[in-house]
Structure 1
């Protein structure tokens, strides 16, 4: 038995390239700059939860946008019908539709034809599809309604989102924010991620403001008392009311410059604006014809200022004053230079992480990885002696190659992503344990060393592929059903699974063959450093005798868990419950009752608190406030201000706002992910084994999940997206563990056909007992440091994962196997009748 030199060379090249690509992640920037230009210098980008920053999701306001589209064409339609000699009784807009009434039914056909002609002309001008743009509904013989079709709305919003992305990018660039991420989400959302310490209130103003500016004549309230047609009452920031003409004298589209500065006369911040040629001419005419009257400067339906025109202004320049700070004046200037958004964007999700908190997360994550790695290395050495060193080498290689792939793909490493690497270490060990146990099993038969190696790898191969593929399926589903940092977990976990299969099947095999040949080893003796196996060889435990106790206990625990879910419920995190969440870090223990009484004076509804990482830190949770995204921003700032008054030396590095629409979508995706993952496991096991194996695995899986949910409820652990990631990972791991037993059963069915099904199951469990216990222990050791030192962010993943590993290992023996026996006995009775 020899290594193929071409394959060994290929493995070496892959490893060397991987190490070269991963190298920049371990070097300082100055050391990296000293390397030649051909050396890859890409590093794994850190997510916002590790380096701090802001995450926002903006959603187009469809109702406002549709209303604006109709309003934009309303006056043109009225003028067109008048020009065409069509007499109508009334033409009015009601939210997302236009209603036209006429004098008699005779003119109905003429009106409909003219309306169709008008909208087709608009579609032609905008280079849009001239069909399927609007729908005419006949309410009566003298009344019709015009609505835009969903096709037209989707088409228009898609165009508006594309334009909005460019405007948002210009606004961010002009504020000097580096390395922004701006992506389109679906058809009507924009994802924005801004690294570094940011001012959330400034970002809301910058990104959540449409910045649609216009200039209107102000009518005298006394002279025009009762005047309503063609005018509206608008307010300024101080609550002053103005009766403003609806007619736009000058549109903000004619602006070509805006600069914030201090006015030397008033020593107050102002914004100087200038118009283009058309705007300058219009501005001159408006100021010339309205001397002595007020001209309102309106931004998004609110009056910024309404100065009196003293003289005609011919140079196309003006000054906007108001209650500005230098920051708000600067943001307004940026928005005016970038231009107005073509659609109103609402902030439906906002998350902010301070740089200090990100640094703390990096420290805890690194500490958890190193601690888990040390435990695994020691465990493998104790378990397999010097051969365990080879397994440890493959684990280190697994981490390096995973980092290389992350760097190569330009992936972002998040805190859950670090958890994915840690768990990937456990899965890499899983493959090595399967190989070592198979080789140890073959070497006991007194076969040659190369035969033991060859048969050990060959017989472990199918189990490794099956178990890793089930975990990979769960990871892929998690990627598509998750969002944000949870996707980062799915990416690192998926890459780690692929790399562990490569290292276990290829690299470890080649190195073992090389060592055996180089050292001229005559027999492989894989021994524990303890001098004895933790699980004795050739055990003959009659597990199926305890099948009724095992299943009965499991059902009782699952029923108790379900009862707990109905009575106590789950502690839903902000991902699923929506609302506002504020992380507070104090310098000394805090009496939360005092904080509660002070915050309740703000009259902001129900307030809940949750301590974490000791008695100095706590979360404040508020329900989603009525009034949309502006109300959430206002309440968030009020609460932050009040907390800093109560606890002067506190820090608030972490805030989140999640709207009800986002939370509903996350719930739907979470449920869908769990269902799809279970269904995928069922189909895969049915294809690879038989249907009754699939039924046994999925039934056990349901019982495992209910117990895990019961743990969340019992200990009031936060149930969020990270918790869903833990459940989906457990689905893959639980099935992984059962496949090891199933694979052995399938082998024994071929080799020991004379055994009864009960004895065959007992024999298979005993043969795989060592592998099952060792793989469970290695996975448990990999997540244990995260559960202890990982902090509150990953505790909702690590704690249920550690619990789930224990549940999955025991359920493989005491639940899945007995269910398989019951189904086997049932099939036998039905076939013998």
Structure 2
């Protein structure tokens, strides 16, 4: 119990710094601007689910990028062939291979060196020399050109970096405050825009490649017929017409110097005015001089924006685009043209939009449920341990403050699941304090003095606390590695909370309790309970009813497996993809009318979910065939349809998840669960014995099957939040088992001749009150979230409450019998005395 002055100063410094990092979160904007530079951290950034906004994940189209490079190579090679006196048709594309067939060996010898010169150095974005981006192979007089893997990777890196800058410019030009735009993985870009509520506008802004070019129309070609070589039939962007466009680019969009949205002074219709650079202005003047009376098409991303007839030469290098634009469309188009063309199309593979009202409700509910959970825990601790419980409360308050401060220090984003993580972390931090107080009570009951009871109590609780928290930490680390978005926010808050709870429980609470003992010169520590006298260790025989307990558990698990197949899990949009819209009305919503309207849109199967006393509805449809335009059109149809049957509807949330993302989320979620169980197996094997590890996993599988049955029975959305709940249950359940196992390990050394079944009963009886108290603490933390926490955390809170009850009962009734069975099976198999198992006479043997 002695602490050096240097260690004490270090503890004080850590606590002071931790509290200081949380201070920015309670300052007003004016105070923050004045004092913020003196503080070590910034306020915690709120996620979009708390402040509203749009979240998109865009993927660079690698196929289009490859095709663009191969098209450039094809044009360059045809130029080489013409120079060598060969036919341009001697070069053709065969998939992703460029095949060149010179007419003879002399032409081959002349063309091959020139083709090799077309190679660009792959890795040009990095430092030093690198390999070429094309691989030139020969077979006789045939030349085959392919892109190298290094070349593709380099081009992808360049395309993503260029796309990042262009997206930043586009977003800046439409005036979105505090955007988050960052690279994710090798070919994806994450965009989070607070406050922007129009998904259609956002898709148009970010998904368009903005490859603008100017072409002459070929009036001799029927746009409804077959186009000859050199001419392409393109659709109109706004008028539904078709146009026969010459393939030759008259002026490239790269020559645009500026573009502005405005109004035509004559017609007062929205237009986009553009200005060419010096070279572009000269080209524009030459073209308009030579083609007076001919139509001149302005093409954007393969669609004709407008095709005005050239009335007279335009010498100033300026023009305008009109085409029945709305003012908003003109603003977006001008932003696209000013920011430049994307190097490759971007596919929006995930989109989530949250309205500001839902965000403010989430903040309010998060705060209310957080304070309610903390208040319940404070009442429980004071009720169980009177004045000593107040010391634990001080540790819990410090734990909460330092968790929030650390989130700000790390620059983490706080989401609603993150708030759930903080609240659950409070409940699990109580576990350490309950263990410590229980151990101190035991030492006092055995006749130890105050200081010895503190010393031995903390020492014995320490190993259990570390083992229990480490098993939970393993699950959270895997959830952080394989999770996505808000789920990672939940994982990081839990990881931080677990680490801080070990510090506050082992150091702060210990120092405060020691100070009370020293100041009051206490001879013994009496930890009284306000809610009633503390019972002595019970003497239930759990092993005697083990067959009934295992039978009941098996029946429930088998029933859960049946429920898994019929009716099955209600997989959320995270796992199956699709489009989801949440609408809210001031009056009760008629689901039958909404369903009839949605089914009339012919968007496939429609699922409706009512909540919020019938004033809110969640509408989900499957992902539509086609690309991103099909998803945008379906989303607009859904919004319009809802607005027709619910005139006062407000759209609180929209989500569009593609098959790529949904399959990846499903794979990573289930992988996290599997790896979590494997990691826990090895950890318990290392810390205890093999049969302890196998027993824990067997019990854990029974717990998980019951939770899956709970999801199936109540048809709760099984999404990423559900995966978070399963992983948290794994951590909590194993934490519970570790407490029991730790006491068994201690008793194995203490009672070497006791029959193993009796030793298991004794160990469970010694920790049963701790298991119950900890479970009650976690449940009272989760209950406010389950009742008032909103639809984002309810699918997490209710299954977790159910899981805590299941985990606690399995720790008491299931874990011990399985361990006894494994030990006897191993004894029968070996036919001799084994470590930590039962001997031939059924007595326990000391472990290795």
Distance change (3 Å), C-alpha of 1:154 and 1:738: same
**Alpha-carbon shift at residue 813 of structure 1 (Å):** 2.1
Q: What TM-score, normalized to structure 1? A: 0.96
- 1:560 and 1:125, CA in 2 relative to 1: closer, same or farther beyond 3 A? closer
Residue 517 in structure 1 maps to residue 518 in structure 2: yes
**More deviation in 497-506 or 470-479?**
470-479
The CA distance in 2 between the partners of 1:498 and 1:780, in whole Å, is 21
Paired position in structure 2 for 1:556? 555
What is residue 325 of structure 1 aligned with on the other side?
A: 326
Task: Say whether residues 1:443 and 2:455 are aligned partners.
Answer: no
Moved more, 314-323 or 144-153: 144-153
Shift of 1:147: 3.5
- CA distance in 1 between partners of 2:519 and 2:123 (Å): 79
CA contact (8 A) 1:475 1:493 kept: yes
Matches within 5 A, 1:126-145: 131=131, 133-135=133-135
Q: Alpha carbons of 1:620 and 1:121: their partners in 2 closer, same or farther (altered >3 Å)?
A: closer
Q: Which residue of 2 aligns with 1:353?
A: 354
The separation in 2 between residues aligned to 1:129 and 1:568, in whole angstroms, is 60
Instruction: Show structure 2 runs of 5+ residues with no match.
Output: 833-848
Q: Distance in 2 between matches of 1:36 and 1:795?
A: 36
Q: Residue in 1 aligned with 2:433?
A: 432
Q: Is the 8 A contact 1:134 1:148 kept in 2?
A: yes
Cα drift, residue 389 of structure 1: 0.9
CA distance in 1 between partners of 2:76 and 2:36 (Å): 65
Question: In the TM superposition, what whole-angstrom CA distance separates every residue of 1:244-266 from its partner, at most 9, and x where no partner exists?
Answer: 11111111111111111101011
Secondary structure of residue in 2 paired with 1:120:
coil
What is the match of residue 624 of structure 1?
A: 623
- Secondary structure of the 2:74 match is helix
Deviation of the 1:378 alpha carbon? 0.9
Moved more, 683-692 or 600-609: 600-609
Aligned-pair CA distance for 1:433: 0.4
Q: 1:403 maps to what in 2?
A: 404
User: 1:387 Cα shift?
Assistant: 0.7
Contact 2:120 2:132 in 1 (8 A): no
Match of 2:395 in 1: 394
1:234 and 2:234 correspond: yes
Q: 1:36 Cα shift?
A: 8.0
Aligned residue number for residue 608 of structure 2 = 609
Query: Any residues of structure 2 matched to 1:11-410 within 5 Å, and which?
Result: 11-33=11-33, 35=35, 38-40=38-40, 42-87=42-87, 90-93=90-93, 96-100=96-100, 110=109, 113-114=112-113, 116-120=115-119, 131=131, 133-135=133-135, 146-222=145-221, 227-236=227-236, 237-410=238-411
- Tell me which moved more, 778-787 or 664-673: 778-787
Q: Deviations over 1:513-540 (max 9, x none)?
A: 101111122210111112312xx32212
Displacement of 1:108 in angstroms is 9.7
Partner of 1:593: 592
Report the Cα offset of residue 100 of structure 1.
4.2
1:813 match: 812
Name the CA distance, whole Å, in 2 between partners of 1:118 and 1:621.
54
Unaligned runs of 5+ in 1: none
Counterpart position of 2:742: 743
Q: Secondary structure at the match of 1:568?
A: helix
Seen in structure 2, the aligned counterparts of structure 1 residues 505 and 328 have a Cα distance that, compared at 3 Å, is same
Describe the SS at the equivalent of 2:351: strand
Distance 1:494 1:125, change over 3 A: closer
Q: 1:720 to 1:241 in 2, by over 3 A?
A: same
RMSD after superposition = 2.2
Shift of residue 546, structure 1, vs aligned partner:
1.5
Is the CA contact (8 Å cut-off) linking 1:86 and 1:111 kept in structure 2?
A: no
Shift of 1:71: 1.4
Q: CA, structure 1 residues 37+117, in 2 after alignment: closer, same or farther (shift >3 Å)? A: closer
Residues 473-492 of structure 1: matches in 2 within 5 Å? Answer: 473-492=474-493
3-state DSSP of counterpart to 1:298 = strand
Aligned to 2:691: 692
Write out per-residue CA displacement over residues 792-820 of structure 1, whole angstroms, 9 at most, x where no aligned residue: 11011101111111111111122221111
Deviates more, 1:464-473 or 1:551-560: 551-560
Distance of aligned partners of 1:828 and 1:631 in 2 relative to their CA distance in 1, 3 Å threshold: same
- Residue in structure 1 matched with residue 836 of structure 2 by the alignment: none
SS at match of 1:382: helix
CA contact (8 A) 2:261 2:331 kept: yes
Aligned equivalents of 2:277 and 2:414: distance in 1? 46
- Structure-to-structure mapping, 1:611-690, within 5 angstroms: 611-690=610-689
**Bigger CA drift: 567-576 or 546-555?**
546-555
Query: CA–CA distance in 1 between the matches of 2:448 and 2:646?
Result: 73
> In the TM superposition, what is the alpha-carbon distance from 1:136 to its structure 2 partner?
5.9
Q: Tell whether the 8 Å contact from 1:120 to 1:130 is kept in structure 2 after alignment.
A: no
The structural deviation recorded for 1:46 is 0.6
Superposed CA offset, 1:125-164 (max 9, x none):
99997746335678x9887654323332222111110011
Q: Distance in 1 between matches of 2:657 and 2:120?
A: 42
CA distance in 1 between counterparts of 2:125 and 2:76 reads: 15
Report SS of the residue matched to 2:119: helix
Distance verdict in 2 for CA 1:650–1:514, change over 3 Å: same
Distance (whole Å) between structure 2 residues aligned to residue 78 and residue 94 of structure 1:
15
